[in-house]
Amino acid sequence: MPEIPDDDDNQSSKSHPTTSADDGTEAHNKLLVEIWKQAVDTQKHFNDMCVKSRQLGLTFVAASLGAALYLFIRSPGGSSESDAARSVYAYSFSVCGHAIVLHVSLAIIVAAAAAVYAVRRLDLGVYHQMLRGAVSFGEDLEQRHIVHIVGLTKGMTEAISHFSRHSDAAVELGPEHSYNYVGRDKRNAGDKLRWFYDFIFFFLAFLALLIFVATNFLKAVG
């Protein structure tokens, strides 16, 4: 007479497929999380490169402005040194019978502008493009996989991008305590960076114009 399996044996045999499927899903989710961590680390790496390049440019501009201001306001040591001082700090030439004086501080400002231009090309043309690629990958990964695992409306990369691209970005509490991201004034980070560099160029050009006017049309009062 055949033996009838116990209920416990039936329950055990039925539970094996479910457990195997759960283990597979858990392993898949862990793999996705690890990929997401690597994507975030890549974004941090490129972001650090962008920040360091901008810090280098601003440091060079600040040092150049300090040197230019020091040379511009420095007075000759005396009448015997006046000719030598002029030969060091300023150069003059004639155009249509008018004497044009170019102070050496103008050359320093031009050098600062050239350095900022090089940093801008490196920042916007290389580092920022790689950062955008890393962010796009992170957004795609979060939208397709991560948000379903953690049960959120957006992933971290998507949330940061939303607040970075919208000056009026905000969140509203939706049903079941979920966040709805809102914002209409969209402006990407690249446009903001271009405005930042344009402002530096405008400031340097304005300062160079002031120095040129002061050395050619204004007289110092002793």
**Residue 163 belongs to domain spanning:** 22-74+103-217
- In this structure, is residue 145 part of a structural domain? yes
Provide the domain count of the chain. 1
- In this structure, is residue 86 part of a structural domain? no
- In this structure, is residue 8 part of a structural domain? no
- Render each residue's pLDDT in the chain as its tens digit; 222 residues: 555 555 555 555 455 555 777 778 888 888 998 999 999 999 999 999 999 999 988 998 999 999 888 888 875 544 444 444 444 576 666 777 677 778 888 889 999 999 999 999 999 999 999 999 999 999 999 999 888 888 888 888 999 888 888 888 888 887 777 788 888 888 888 888 999 999 999 999 999 999 888 888 775 544
- In this structure, is residue 167 part of a structural domain? yes
- In this structure, is residue 115 part of a structural domain? yes
- In this structure, is residue 79 part of a structural domain? no
Distance CA 115, CA 209 (A): 19
Distance CA 107, CA 110 (A): 5
Rg (CA), the chain: 32
- In this structure, is residue 134 part of a structural domain? yes
Against a cut of 0.75, is the pTM above it? no
- In this structure, is residue 4 part of a structural domain? no
Q: Which of 157, 163, 101 is nearest to 131 (CA)?
A: 157
CA 115 vs. chain centroid, Å, equals 17
